[in-house]
Structure 1
Amino acid sequence: MPTLVVGQEVCIVTPSNFDVSELSQNREIIVRSDNAQMIQDTTARFDGNVKIISPDALIIADSANISDSGKELIASGDVEYQDESLRVFSQGVELNSNLKLLQMEDSDYEMKDIAGRGAAKLLSLSGERGLTLESVTFTTCPKGGEDWQISASEISIGKDKPFGEAFNTIFKVGGVPVFYLPYFAFPVTAERQTGLLFPKISNSQSVGLEYEQPFYWNIAPNYDATISPRFMTERGLQLKTEFRYLNYGSRGEVQLEYLPNDIDTAEDDERYFYRFSHQGKLAEDWNLNIDFSGISDDNYIVDLGSDYYNRADTHLYRQVGLSYFSEQLDFTMQFRDFDVIGDHPSVYRALPEMKLNYASDLSKYLSFNVNSELAYFQSSLDSNPDAIRLHVEPSLQIPYQRAWGELLAEVSVLNTYYAQDVDENAALADETLRTIGQGRLYGSLIFEKQQSLLDKDYTLTLEPKAQYLYTSYEQQDNIGLYDTTPLLTTFSNLFRGQEFTGLDRINDNNQFTLGLTSRLIDKQNREKMVFSLGQIFYLQNTKIIDGTRDGNRSALAAELDWQVNQRWFLHSDIQIETRTDRVQRSSFATEYRVNDDKLIQLNHRYIRDLSGEQINQLGLSASWPINEKWAWVARWYRDTERSRTTESFFGVQYESCCWALRVTAQRHLSNRFDVNGVRTQDDFDSGIALQFVFKGIGSSKGSTSMLEQGLFGYKQPYLLNQ
Structure 2
Amino acid sequence: MWAGVSNAQEVCFVPLAGPNLDNSLIDGQILVKSQYSEIQQNTYAEFNGDVEINSSEVKIKAESAKLDRLSETLVANGSVNFQDKNITVSSDKVTLNRISNELLIEESNYQLNRVQGHGEAQEIAISEQTGINLIEASYSSCPIDDEVWRIQASQIEITPNQARGIVKHARFYIKDVPVLYLPYFSFPVNDERQSGLLYPDITNSSSAGISVEQPIYWNIAPNYDLTLSPRLMTNRGLQLKTEFRYLTEQHKGQLNLEYLPNDLAEDQDSERYFYRYVHNGSINENWRVNAEINGLSDDNYVNDLGSDYYSQSDTHLYKTLGLNYFSEGLDISAQFRDFEVLGDHPDSYRALPEIRLNYLNDLGAGFEFNINSELAYFESGDEDNPTATRFHIAPTLSYPFQNQWSELLAEVSVMHTHYFQENITDTNLEKEVTRTLGQAKLYGSLAFEREISWFGKTLTQTFEPKAQYLYTSYEEQTNIGLYDTTRLYNDFAGLFRGQEFTGLDRISDNNQITLGTTTRIIDDNNQEKFKLSIGQIFYLKDNQVLDATKEDSKSALAAELDWQMGSKWYAHTLAQVSSITDKVERSSISLEYQLSENKLLQINHRFVRDLSSEKIDQVGITATWPISKNWQWIGRWYYDRTLNRTVEAYNGVQYSSCCWTVSFVAERYLSNSYESTGVQSTNDFETGFHVYFTNRNLLRDGLFGYRRPYLLN
C-alpha distance in structure 1 between counterparts of 2:699 and 2:511, whole Å: 47
1:25 corresponding residue in structure 2: 25
Task: Spell out the pairing of 1:555-574 with structure 2 (5 A cutoff).
Answer: 555-574=556-575
2:43 corresponding residue in structure 1: 42
C-alpha distance in structure 1 between counterparts of 2:438 and 2:701, whole Å: 49
**1:590–1:9 Cα change, 3 Å:** farther
Q: Which moved more, 1:207-216 or 1:385-394?
A: 207-216
Residue number among 673, 696, 703 corresponding to 1:711 in the alignment: 703
Deviations 1:125-172 (A, max 9, x none): 111111111222112345575432211221111112121111222211
Q: Give yes or no for contact 2:439–2:473 (8 Å, CA) kept in 1.
A: yes
Q: Give yes or no for contact 1:11–1:141 (8 Å, CA) kept in 2.
A: no
Shift of 1:2: 7.4
Q: Secondary structure of the equivalent of 2:262? A: strand
Shift of 1:70: 8.9
2:302 corresponding residue in structure 1: 301
Q: Give the aligned residue type for 1:128.
A: Q
Shift of 1:40: 5.6
C-alpha distance in structure 2 between counterparts of 1:334 and 1:12, whole Å: 47
1:447 corresponding residue in structure 2: 448
Deviations 1:110-134 (A, max 9, x none): 1123322111222111111111112
**Is 1:276 equivalent to 2:277 in the alignment?**
yes
Unmatched 5+ residue regions in structure 1? 693-698
Q: Give yes or no for contact 1:45–1:65 (8 Å, CA) kept in 2.
A: yes
Deviations 1:212-241 (A, max 9, x none): 111222222222222211111111111111
Deviations 1:492-529 (A, max 9, x none): 11111111111000111111111111122222222222
Q: Secondary structure of the equivalent of 2:546? A: coil
**Is 1:720 equivalent to 2:712 in the alignment?**
yes
Deviations 1:180-205 (A, max 9, x none): 22222211112222111111112111
Deviations 1:242-275 (A, max 9, x none): 1222222332211111111111111231111111
**1:4–1:285 Cα change, 3 Å:** closer
Q: Secondary structure of the equivalent of 1:269? A: coil
C-alpha distance in structure 2 between counterparts of 1:563 and 1:251, whole Å: 40
1:54 corresponding residue in structure 2: 55
Q: Give the aligned residue type for 1:609.
A: D
User: How many residues end up aligned between the 2 structures?
Assistant: 710
C-alpha distance in structure 2 between counterparts of 1:417 and 1:629, whole Å: 65
Q: Give the aligned residue type for 1:398.
A: Y
Shift of 1:319: 0.9
**1:50–1:354 Cα change, 3 Å:** same
Shift of 1:663: 1.6
C-alpha distance in structure 1 between counterparts of 2:386 and 2:573, whole Å: 42
1:348 corresponding residue in structure 2: 349
2:114 corresponding residue in structure 1: 113
1:407 corresponding residue in structure 2: 408
**1:614–1:44 Cα change, 3 Å:** same
Deviations 1:11-53 (A, max 9, x none): 9665333342565534442111121112463111112221111
Task: Spell out the pairing of 1:248-259 with structure 2 (5 A cutoff).
Answer: 248-259=249-260
C-alpha distance in structure 2 between counterparts of 1:632 and 1:600, whole Å: 12
Shift of 1:63: 1.6
Shift of 1:414: 0.8
1:695 corresponding residue in structure 2: none
2:123 corresponding residue in structure 1: 122
Task: Spell out the pairing of 1:532-681 with structure 2 (5 A cutoff).
Answer: 532-655=533-656, 658-681=659-682
**1:616–1:11 Cα change, 3 Å:** closer
1:321 corresponding residue in structure 2: 322
Deviations 1:542-587 (A, max 9, x none): 1111125221111111111222233222111101111110111111
Q: Give the aligned residue type for 1:671.
A: N
C-alpha distance in structure 1 between counterparts of 2:253 and 2:515, whole Å: 45
CA RMSD of aligned residues (A): 2.2
**1:657–1:367 Cα change, 3 Å:** closer
Unmatched 5+ residue regions in structure 2? none
**1:383–1:13 Cα change, 3 Å:** closer
Q: Give yes or no for contact 1:673–1:680 (8 Å, CA) kept in 2.
A: yes
Provide the TM-score with structure 2 as the length reference: 0.96
Task: Spell out the pairing of 1:418-567 with structure 2 (5 A cutoff).
Answer: 418-567=419-568
C-alpha distance in structure 1 between counterparts of 2:75 and 2:206, whole Å: 65
**1:136–1:585 Cα change, 3 Å:** same
Shift of 1:283: 1.0
**Is 1:192 equivalent to 2:184 in the alignment?**
no
C-alpha distance in structure 2 between counterparts of 1:279 and 1:659, whole Å: 34
Q: Give yes or no for contact 2:603–2:621 (8 Å, CA) kept in 1.
A: yes
**Is 1:384 equivalent to 2:385 in the alignment?**
yes
Q: Give yes or no for contact 1:11–1:142 (8 Å, CA) kept in 2.
A: no
More relative contact order in 1 or in 2 (CA 8 Å, sep 6+)? 1
Q: Secondary structure of the equivalent of 1:262? A: coil
Q: Give yes or no for contact 1:422–1:428 (8 Å, CA) kept in 2.
A: no
Shift of 1:700: 5.4
Q: Which moved more, 1:111-120 or 1:493-502?
A: 111-120
C-alpha distance in structure 2 between counterparts of 1:321 and 1:560, whole Å: 38
C-alpha distance in structure 2 between counterparts of 1:3 and 1:17, whole Å: 19
Q: Give the aligned residue type for 1:681.
A: T
Provide the TM-score with structure 1 as the length reference: 0.94
**Is 1:241 equivalent to 2:233 in the alignment?**
no
C-alpha distance in structure 1 between counterparts of 2:221 and 2:30, whole Å: 40
C-alpha distance in structure 1 between counterparts of 2:291 and 2:630, whole Å: 44
C-alpha distance in structure 1 between counterparts of 2:163 and 2:339, whole Å: 44
C-alpha distance in structure 2 between counterparts of 1:575 and 1:470, whole Å: 24
Q: Give yes or no for contact 1:484–1:503 (8 Å, CA) kept in 2.
A: yes
Q: Secondary structure of the equivalent of 2:548? A: coil
Deviations 1:303-337 (A, max 9, x none): 11111111111111111121112221111111111
Deviations 1:458-487 (A, max 9, x none): 321111111111111100010000000001
Shift of 1:618: 0.5
**1:187–1:657 Cα change, 3 Å:** closer
Q: Give yes or no for contact 1:23–1:57 (8 Å, CA) kept in 2.
A: no
Q: Secondary structure of the equivalent of 1:261? A: coil
Q: Secondary structure of the equivalent of 2:607? A: strand
